[in-house]
Amino acid sequence: MPGNWHVRFGGRPHGKGPHTGAPRRVADPTNTVSSQFLTEITVVDTQTGVMDDGVGGIVTTLEELNGLFSSWVEMVYPHTVHSTTGQSPLARWDAGWVTRRPERKTREEIAEAFRWSTIRTVTKSATVSLQSNTYQVDPLLIGKKVELVYDPFDLTGLITVSAGNGVQPGSRC
C-alpha cells in the first residue's frame, strides 16, 4: 500500500477521521460568467433571427462568442475585484505565489516520500514479517504495533521501523 507521500512533502492529511469537516467551497464560475460576461453581449439566433435580452455587442457565430469570451477571460476577469477577498484574482495569485515558491527536494527525500508503509505487530521473538521476509527489531517493541516503511521493489534495502516514539532500523533475519 503506498504511503502518504503528500504528507511527507509537508501536505496535510485529508479524509482521515470523523472530524475532518467538509472540503472548502469552490467558487461557481457560472455565476461570474452570467453576471459579468453575458450581460455584455446580445446573442442572435441565426435560424430564427430572435435576439436575447442582452444589451451588449451582437454575437451571431460561435467563433465570435469564443473570441469575446477569451478576451474577457484574459483582459477583464483577472482584474475584477472579488467581493469577499477584496483582491482581483490576478493580485491574489501574485500575492500568494510570492510566499509559495516550490522547494527542491533531494533524490533521497523524494525516494523516501514514495516508499510504501504498512502496520505490523512485533512478535514475541522481536520480529516482524513483510512479504515472506522476517526482520529483527528492538525487543522493547514486542507486542507493539509498528509502521514499516520500505521500497517494495528492493526488500534487500533498509526497512525503517517506527513505533511512533523514535525510529529503529530493522535488520533482516
Q: Which residues, including other chains, have CB under 8 Å from residue 122's CB and lie 6 or more apart?
A: 128, 137, 141, 142, 143, 144, 145, 146
The one-letter amino acid code at 100 reads: R
Q: Phi and psi dihedrals of 40, rounded to 5?
A: -95, 0
135 in the same domain as 85: no
pLDDT of residue 120: 92
The one-letter amino acid code at 130 reads: L
Residue 1 falls within a domain, yes or no? no
Q: Which three cell numbers stand for residue 133?
A: 521476509
Domain of 151 in residue numbering reads as 115-172
Q: How many domains does the chain have?
A: 2
Residue 17 falls within a domain, yes or no? no
> Is the pTM above the cut of 0.85?
no
Residue 136 falls within a domain, yes or no? yes
Residue-wise pLDDT tens digits, 68-100 = 888 888 888 878 888 888 888 888 877 776 677
Distance of CA 131 to the CA centre of its chain: 30
35 in the same domain as 85: yes
89 in the same domain as 33: yes
Residue 20 falls within a domain, yes or no? no
